[in-house]
Amino acid sequence: MGETEDERTAQASQLFENFVQASTCKGTLQAFSILCRQLELDPLDYSNFYSSLKAAVSSWKVKALWTKLDKRAQQKVYNQNKACKGTRCLIIGGGPCGLRTAIELSLLGCKVVVIEKRDTFSRNNVLHLWPYTIHDLRGLGAKKFYGKFCAGSIDHISIRQLQLMLLKVSLILGVEIHVNVEFAKLVEPPEEQPDNSPGWRAEVRPSCHPVSDFEFDVVIGADGRRNTLDGFRRKEFRGKLAIAITANFVNRNTTAEAKVEEISGVAFIFNQKFFLDLKEETGIDLENIVYYKDNTHYFVMTAKKQSLLDKGVILNDYIETERLLSADNVNQEALLSYAREAADFGTNYQLPSLDYAINHYGQPDVAMFDFTSMYASENAALIREKHGHQLLVALVGDSLLEPFWPMGTGCARGFLAAFDAAWMVKGWAQGKSPLEILAERESIYRLLPQTTTENISKNFEQYTIDPATRYPNLNSSCVRPHQVRHLFINGRQD
């Protein structure tokens, strides 16, 4: 009898370990489904799932993870997983910010469904992490999922590793995740018997997917810079022409590679001599360059147009940037050489072989983008009301505020917005009035574009979804309810 018990513990531990170690999106979902089947756990029983999983997987190896997650879950703000009991949320997009929001909403006790149009996490590019994000991710057990997480003084992570760990935490906390499902549009509640008419739903592709029957009270747009939800006008910040190049090279983890120093963006922006020498020696003219050593050797740089023309990367000079950077106006071979040469110079020719890593499309992982215009949504949230059903609609991550890649602000500000959105959902579940909720959310959103590592609270241990724990000098009522009336869109205005 005792032996059977031991065997069962060992088997559960092994199944959980397979899940923790899975290295792809599909592999993680598969390992999770095997884990649930073998241990007879029902992942749809979202409010009990985490405690059932903990009871089923109790080996010493996972205890440290449970301790961390318990500590988080016990924050008062979640009211023991009951703060938003009964609230149903749909999250569009399984990028870092969609998943980070999913985790908070599930800790609040919401039923959370994430739809993600792809089934692979393939972005090698690397995100800079602010100290608070490192602290936050450590608190979610990042090191258990990815042993190399922020070892030593490392303060960055590849997008795909970040997605992978957040996906695992989400699943553990009972979030329902559907990949290969694309959000198309919201479906309004039909005009029927007000008492039991269906509520808000989503039209998705493929159209027959069961998630199209899911009724929700909150929808979060986390689908990246091309946000698909209506009602969010975009503000454009137009700067001088900025062309960014990202490049990823294979990291063979040799001693020689380990010795090469990273280039942190902030330090290098001020080093004018470096850029002058680079230009003189190679003809490459950059405004900045960042190098992070991660799963790949990752470089992001902002290049001046004239040097791209001189080096034959861009073929013809056009005024419209879209035409300038269109595929038929770019010499791909020359672009590969340009980025490699810049990387080589930037690392003092110390990286032994700069072989391109292969991207999602089976091509060398280099990309060139226009950063002249960056977008931010004018508002962070709105409320729709139709036939007696209210829907809280909010944006997070790049959909809300686009980051400047060389500074890597996307994930740091994205997580702050994820917490702020969760705070709003809590207010909503507590029955605050729509205009009050919207006014508070827009007041807090005003702070987001100005946040830096310096001006947010340094007391990371105290961070919760309550904005007062993160923003010193917070004024949650600088936007007044009458200023957000247009964000409460009810049937009468249609």
| Minimum distance, C-beta of residue 359 to ligand FAD, in the bound complex (Å) | 9
Residue 341 CA to residue 351 CA, distance in Å, equals: 11
Residue 170's H or E segment, with its range, is helix 159-172
Nearest residue (CB) to ligand FAD, 211 versus 309: 211
| Minimum distance, C-beta of residue 336 to ligand FAD, in the bound complex (Å) | 17
- In order of 87, 236, 428, 434, the CA distances from 431 in angstroms are 11, 34, 5, 9
Nearest residue (CB) to ligand FAD, 231 versus 434: 231
| Minimum distance, C-beta of residue 45 to ligand FAD, in the bound complex (Å) | 25
| Minimum distance, C-beta of residue 145 to ligand FAD, in the bound complex (Å) | 17
Nearest residue (CB) to ligand FAD, 104 versus 398: 398
Residue 83 CA to residue 86 CA, distance in Å, equals: 9
Nearest residue (CB) to ligand FAD, 161 versus 307: 161
Nearest residue (CB) to ligand FAD, 217 versus 223: 223
| 187 binds ligand FAD, rule: CB under 6 A | no
Buried b (16+ CB within 10 A) or exposed e, 270-308: eeeeebeebeeebebbbebbbbbbbbbbbbbbbbbbebb
Query: Quick check: 248 and 357 in contact, CB under 8 A?
Result: yes
Q: How many residues does the chain have?
A: 494
Residue 298 CA to residue 366 CA, distance in Å, equals: 10
Alpha helix ranges (H) inside 195-290: 255-259, 265-268, 272-282
Q: Which of residues 125-164 bind ligand FAD (CB under 6 A)?
A: 125, 127, 159
Least Cα distance to 173 among 272, 283, 51 occurs for: 51
| Minimum distance, C-beta of residue 28 to ligand FAD, in the bound complex (Å) | 14
Answer for which of 43, 96, 364, 467 binds ligand FAD (CB under 6 A) is: 96
| 469 binds ligand FAD, rule: CB under 6 A | no
SS3 248: strand
Answer for which of 54, 118, 279, 305 binds ligand FAD (CB under 6 A) is: 118
Applying CB under 6 A, which part among 210-218, 261-269, 399-407, 458-466 lies near ligand FAD? Answer: 399-407
Nearest residue (CB) to ligand FAD, 183 versus 232: 183
**Residue window 239-278: x/- pattern of binding to ligand FAD, with contact defined by CB under 6 A:** -------x--------------------------------
Answer for which of 171, 300, 324, 343 binds ligand FAD (CB under 6 A) is: 300
Answer for which of 364, 397, 427, 434 binds ligand FAD (CB under 6 A) is: 397
| Minimum distance, C-beta of residue 290 to ligand FAD, in the bound complex (Å) | 9
Q: Which two tokens stand for residue 376?
A: 């931010």
Residue 310 CA to residue 318 CA, distance in Å, equals: 14
Answer for which of 43, 98, 265, 434 binds ligand FAD (CB under 6 A) is: 98
Q: Which of residues 400-459 bind ligand FAD (CB under 6 A)?
A: 403, 405, 408, 410-411, 414
| Total residues interacting with ligand FAD, rule: CB under 6 A | 32
Answer for which of 224, 329, 357, 478 binds ligand FAD (CB under 6 A) is: 224
Q: Which two tokens stand for residue 270?
A: 């001020």
Q: Which two tokens stand for residue 368?
A: 């060139």
Query: Quick check: 177 and 29 in contact, CB under 8 A?
Result: yes
Nearest residue (CB) to ligand FAD, 244 versus 382: 244
Nearest residue (CB) to ligand FAD, 212 versus 228: 228
**DSSP string over 108-166:** TT-EEEEEES-S------EEE--HHHHHHHHHTTHHHH-TTTT-TT--EEEHHHHHHHH
| Minimum distance, C-beta of residue 146 to ligand FAD, in the bound complex (Å) | 16
| Minimum distance, C-beta of residue 116 to ligand FAD, in the bound complex (Å) | 5
Least Cα distance to 189 among 177, 201, 206, 174 occurs for: 201
Nearest residue (CB) to ligand FAD, 109 versus 414: 414
Residue 59 has φ and ψ, to the nearest 5°, of -65, 160
Answer for which of 72, 88, 123, 384 binds ligand FAD (CB under 6 A) is: 123
| Minimum distance, C-beta of residue 324 to ligand FAD, in the bound complex (Å) | 20
| 228 binds ligand FAD, rule: CB under 6 A | yes
Query: Quick check: 297 and 343 in contact, CB under 8 A?
Result: yes
Query: Quick check: 145 and 164 in contact, CB under 8 A?
Result: yes
**DSSP string over 319-334:** SSHHHHTSGGGB-HHH
Residue 92 has φ and ψ, to the nearest 5°, of -95, 110
Nearest residue (CB) to ligand FAD, 117 versus 209: 117
Residue 186 CA to residue 263 CA, distance in Å, equals: 44
| Minimum distance, C-beta of residue 296 to ligand FAD, in the bound complex (Å) | 11
Applying CB under 6 A, which part among 14-22, 88-96, 321-329, 346-354 lies near ligand FAD? Answer: 88-96
Q: Which of the 8 DSSP states describes residue 356?
A: B
Answer for which of 22, 25, 89, 94 binds ligand FAD (CB under 6 A) is: 94
Binding site for ligand FAD (CB under 6 A): 92-98, 115-118, 123, 125, 127, 159, 182-183, 222-224, 228, 246, 300, 397-399, 403, 405, 408, 410-411, 414
